[in-house]
Amino acid sequence: MKNMMIGQSGGPSPAINASLAGAVQYAMASGQIGQVYGMLHGLEGLLQRQVVSLSDQIVTALDFELLVHTPAMALGSCRYRLPKDDKEIYAQVLQILQHYNIGYFFYCGGNDSMDTIANLSAYFRSQNADIKCIGIPKTVDNDLAVTDHTPGFGSAARFVAASFSEIMIDSMAYPAPSVTVVEVMGRNAGWLTASSVLARAHGYTGPHLIYLPEIPFDHTAYIEKVREKLKTERHVVVAVSEGIRSKETGRYVSEKDSGEVDMFGHASLGGVADVLKTLAKEQLGIKARSIEPSVLQRVGMHLASGTDLREAQEVGVTAVKTALLGQTDVMICIKRVSNHPYLVRYETTPLENVANHERKVPLSWISEDGTNVTEEMVDYLRPLFRGETHVNYEDGLPRFFRINQEKLV
Amino acid sequence: MKNMMIGQSGGPSPAINASLAGAVQYAMASGQIGQVYGMLHGLEGLLQRQVVSLSDQIVTALDFELLVHTPAMALGSCRYRLPKDDKEIYAQVLQILQHYNIGYFFYCGGNDSMDTIANLSAYFRSQNADIKCIGIPKTVDNDLAVTDHTPGFGSAARFVAASFSEIMIDSMAYPAPSVTVVEVMGRNAGWLTASSVLARAHGYTGPHLIYLPEIPFDHTAYIEKVREKLKTERHVVVAVSEGIRSKETGRYVSEKDSGEVDMFGHASLGGVADVLKTLAKEQLGIKARSIEPSVLQRVGMHLASGTDLREAQEVGVTAVKTALLGQTDVMICIKRVSNHPYLVRYETTPLENVANHERKVPLSWISEDGTNVTEEMVDYLRPLFRGETHVNYEDGLPRFFRINQEKLV
């Protein structure tokens, strides 16, 4: 019986460990897989033989329950990309996998990772090594092609939406008019910033302006929009993607740590929200503040989406099922079957359809003036962030699962 | 039968509405109070006769339940301070209160607010107006005198501690060594920054350095400390109060929006965490990042402390009880009776003992090198952030209670 190896790559997300839990649990119960191994820090760790036995370390129902509700990456991540032409590295990877008698190889990550698996798999085939290679999608950015959405996105979207609710209620505490600019993750694709729209519920009207990186940012138009909104809203809340670029220069509106000055001659303040806040303050003479929730967006497990965590587990399960059916060189996809009721199906797509592609927000889902999203976007987003999760708290703090990274095998 | 008036002042906190709920519910059930009125935006709103009937607006058990779990201020806040010598303003307040036949006046806020009530009450007495004036403490900064701790603090502390857990787990995803600097609220008192220590649990060792505003900040010593920590920790996490001041200059380490340069000749980057991050990056050549959770710390109801919300309600209840017993000119205090088990008693203290005082962290609770807190501090903090809360979610978002601010009476 062949063994399996699984690894994680790219940026942390609240759902990547749920996929790990799903895959490991299904593999262990299948009776068709011997040992379940995990590589620490992705392929970078694998090359250093940093391998642990997940069969030995994730055992009880509580272990799995905790792992599902642990943010970031239990196995550790890497930003390592296999050098495409260095066949020696590929040979090393194969040798290590053969050492562990691996027949099934799973890698969880974004489009870079899918490219990595595709290259590895091609090499394995060229060496007549029968190792099924399956990609497990994840990214809070939701920018992978083919799949309707990516595990991790719904949870980050819920954190963003709930944070906007809270920030709005915080703004409304004071009588004086104000502008609050909140910076959301997503350098090239605006999905997560768009999800701030979900906070427009329960009678709250904000965010009032939403700026996605898909639309070049017009400084003058922004000031006019804020001025206009302030006529009807005492407290204007603005959602802005970290990756918006200036319409005039094509450069990031805020180039962090660049030491350069922006188009208004101000020094870069370290964040785009700060730039937009300062613009509003100086040009409109209004009380303004900026908020940058930063990595809390991708690790806020207490606000993870129940739907997302469930789907992430299913994606992990489906990855193992698919490999056991003899498929290889595919990534698991979520296909939305219907929206009312919300139903999905798990499918596969060839890795090459995902590798190195980046799915941006369709321009037809952005309002004409570039400061809002359409009802289609809201319909798309709404089911993804629903559902609560049960985080285990112990002594006031969320309890997370930890893999013992010292116990190498 | 006399009526009661209640208002909120100062900065938002996750527990101020819990105190409001406790006070209103007890008053309505007491049979000794006629109408329960709320002033919108504190005394600033009261002077404009922005008064609502809470008896009419907070009615069902669900209303109270939602109000307890609503962050920021349901009645709205103000930063208004009564001009001390302008007796005309005092006369106006009295006239408005008499218009509503008020016999009981409650104001929820920090030390400024306690000063305000004390001055008001003195004026009422000088006019032979029998209005009992009671202060209800609140502040996430925990800097009020006499009371063991303030409602709102435990919840903010829990948000901070849980965020540090999550940030640490996020840091650990990558193999490369790193420094993460997290900025915590509290300009003059380090209580909230100190509460990051609670994240050192479940096998996690950070935050590894804790900088409070009570200790002047030494840039050189900081770099040495980080260098030293990096010998044993791959990922160093630093907690820093927004209000630390330079040992050399006595000025804030980061003077936001000042346009000035810091002692190293760099432009102010907008936050102290950014300054400390840049220092580590430039002097140690290490991957570094800064995180500023900002107002999320004071509105993160999903991570509110059960203990805090319960106590906040009790403080509200005690305020009304106290007024009905004929007491005036006092603030409600929490007195810690024992730590194991954690037991408290609710007492009163004259407003003058609290007004304009600021309680800082005792130096004896800070380690000698100024980068850690002692076990006494941990013992003090631990019971305050414990206990979960049940936030009502509807369609993915937390559901908050809203007072209809249009329905003036």
Contacts with A395 from chain B: Cβ below 8 Å: 201, 382, 386
| Dmax (CA) of chain A | 71
Contacts with A71 from chain B: Cβ below 8 Å: 166, 169-170
Residues 6+ apart with CB under 8 A from A375: none
The active-site residue out of A115, A141, A274, A329 is A141
DSSP character string of A105-160: EEEEESHHHHHHHHHHHHHHHHTT---EEEEEE--TT---SSSSS-TTHHHHHHHH
- Nearest-angstrom CA–CA distance, B320 and B6: 10
Q: Is B241 left (phi over 0), alpha (psi -120 to 50) or beta?
A: beta
Torsion of Cα atoms, A166 then A168 then A173 then A178, to 10°: 140
Q: Where are the alpha helices (DSSP H) in B137-269?
A: 153-171, 191-194, 219-232
- Nearest-angstrom CA–CA distance, A38 and A20: 9
pLDDT of residue B270: 57
pLDDT of residue B353: 96
Distance (Å) from the alpha carbon of B31 to chain A's nearest alpha carbon: 31
DSSP character string of B17-71: HHHHHHHHHHHHHHSS---EEEETTHHHHHHTT-EEEHHHHS-SHHHHHHHHT--
What residues 258-287 of chain A have any CB closer than 8 A to a CB of chain B?
A: 267, 269-271, 274, 278
pLDDT of residue B183: 96
- Nearest-angstrom CA–CA distance, B19 and A387: 29
pLDDT tens, residue by residue, B141-170:
999 999 999 999 999 999 999 999 999 999
- Percent pLDDT > 70 in chain A is 96
pLDDT tens, residue by residue, A260-280:
443 444 444 458 999 999 999
pLDDT of residue A159: 96
Q: What is the ipTM of this complex?
A: 0.94
B376 vs A: CB within 8 A: no
pLDDT tens, residue by residue, A213-240:
999 999 999 999 999 999 999 999 999 9
Compare B273 and A81 and report the one with higher pLDDT. B273
**Are A402 and B203 a contacting pair at CB < 8 A?**
yes
pLDDT tens, residue by residue, B181-207:
999 999 899 999 999 999 999 889 999
- Nearest-angstrom CA–CA distance, A123 and A128: 9
Contacts with A12 from chain B: Cβ below 8 Å: 169-170, 173
Please state, in angstroms and as integers, the Cα–Cα distance from residue B149 to each residue in A2, B69, B181, B315, B380, following that order.
Answer: 59, 20, 27, 12, 9
B45 vs A: CB within 8 A: yes
**Are B198 and A396 a contacting pair at CB < 8 A?**
yes
For A76, nearest residue in chain B (alpha carbons) = B173
Give the three-state DSSP class for A211. strand
A15 vs B: CB within 8 A: no
β-bridge mates for residue B400, sequence order: none
pLDDT tens, residue by residue, A277-292:
999 999 999 999 999 9
- What are the φ and ψ backbone dihedral angles of A321, each rounded to 5 degrees? -55, -45
**Mean pLDDT of the B259-280 span:** 66
Contact between residue A355 and residue A118 where contact means Cβ atoms under 8 Å apart? yes
Residue B319: pLDDT over 50: yes
Radius of gyration of chain A (CA): 22
pLDDT of residue B331: 98
Residue B385: pLDDT over 50: yes
Per-residue confidence band for A359, with pLDDT thresholds at 50, 70 and 90: very high
Contact between residue B325 and residue B35 where contact means Cβ atoms under 8 Å apart? no
Which helix (H) or strand (E) is B211 found in, with range? strand B209-211
- Nearest-angstrom CA–CA distance, A291 and A302: 20
Candidate from A150-154, A181-185, A248-252, B91-95 with smallest mean pLDDT? A248-252
Would you say the pTM of this structure is higher than 0.90?
yes
**Are B41 and A174 a contacting pair at CB < 8 A?**
yes
What residues 144-173 of chain A have any CB closer than 8 A to a CB of chain B?
A: 158, 161-163, 165-167, 169-170, 172-173
- Rounded to the nearest integer, the mean pLDDT of chain B is 93
Contact between residue A215 and residue A366 where contact means Cβ atoms under 8 Å apart? yes
Residue B263: pLDDT over 70: no
Active site residues of B: 141
Q: Which of B48, B36, B7, B18 is nearest to B309 (CA)?
A: B18
Neighbours of A84 (CB within 10 A): 11
Candidate from B45, B169, B270 with C-beta closest to A299: B169
**Are B175 and A270 a contacting pair at CB < 8 A?**
no
**Are B163 and A296 a contacting pair at CB < 8 A?**
yes
pLDDT of residue A246: 93
pLDDT of residue B85: 84
